[in-house]
Amino acid sequence: MDKLRLLYLIPIILLATILLATDFSNNDEANTTSAETAERTGDFDKMMLALTHPRCLNCHPSDHKPKQGMDQHPHYFGIARGEADHGFIATKCNTCHQDENDDFSGVPGAPHWGLAPSTMNWEGLSKTEIATSMMDRTRNGGKSPNEILKHLTEDALVLWAWDPGIDVDGNTRETPPISKEEYIAAVKGWFAGGAVIPQE
Ligand code: HEC
Ligand code: HEC
């Protein structure tokens, strides 16, 4: 063999080495698995667009005070968590908040208006922490996965976020950046996929 022929062989040997070193079957499997995981937790990413929106967070704060508006300023009149999270007698939430929005006075409303219990605080939590907390019976009000699914897709306070009425300044309150239908589909998709807790 002359020197020139040897040179021709180098790329062929290199290619063969690469092909042998690559385990295609294994790679394919890994790809499918991560794609599936991404699809499952992708539904939770969509849910996060609502869960972390002020329309939800204003009632799921990390302190004991409901918040107002897109800038999440503390509630007027120093309203704070009271007995059973529905306000002290003098400031009972339903003194002002009725079963539906009052677009003349700007007071939002929906049935059983109240502040979420402190175990359901989500403000400042990561998606992993929110998902974990939401599915934890010791923190979610003793709800089973099915009850959480129902709450997320049917509860009056949850659905209010897509019909939040007009504020005291006469402006229509902003809704979460995902439609109610897409959000509900994402919730159902996440539960159908086994409610896999998303990792950061
Ligand atoms: C004295 C009347 C009054 C009481 C009592 C009251 N609220 Fe309000 N609340 C209002 C008014 C008025 C607004 C509208 C403010 C605005 O549009 O800027 C409001 C707005 C809110 C909002 C803002 C919604 C949003 O996403 O912007 C939340 C949350 C809220 N109240 C929760 C509560 C909770 C929980 C309680 C009981 C612990 C309560 N409120 C008690 C009058 C009251
Ligand atoms: C007016 C206040 C208010 C608003 C707005 C609100 N919630 Fe809640 N949330 C509550 C209260 C009160 C509870 C506890 C009582 C109950 O179970 O109904 C609760 C409980 C929950 C629970 C039960 C489990 C847990 O650990 O948190 C979920 C899930 C939930 N809310 C989701 C949402 C979502 C999603 C939104 C927005 C799309 C939202 N909430 C908006 C007041 C509110």
125 CA distance to ligand 1 middle (Å): 23
Residue 51 to residue 32: CA distance in whole angstroms: 28
Write the pLDDT tens digit of every residue in 24-45.
444 444 444 555 666 667 999 9
Quick one: pLDDT band at residue 76, thresholds 50, 70, 90?
A: confident
Q: Is the pLDDT of residue 7 over 60?
A: no
Give 75 Cα–ligand 1 centroid separation in angstroms.
6
Q: Is the CB of 141 under 6 A from ligand 2?
A: yes
- What's the gap in Å between 29 CA and the centre of ligand 1? 52
- 120-131 confidence digits (pLDDT tens): 999 999 999 999
Please tell me the predicted confidence (pLDDT) of residue 8.
57
Nearest CA to ligand 2 atom 19: 116
Q: Give the residue from 104, 99, 112, 115 showing the smallest Cα distance to 166.
A: 104
Q: Which residues contact 191 (CB under 8 A, 6 or more apart)?
A: 145, 149
Model confidence pLDDT, tens digit, residues 56-69? 999 999 888 899 99
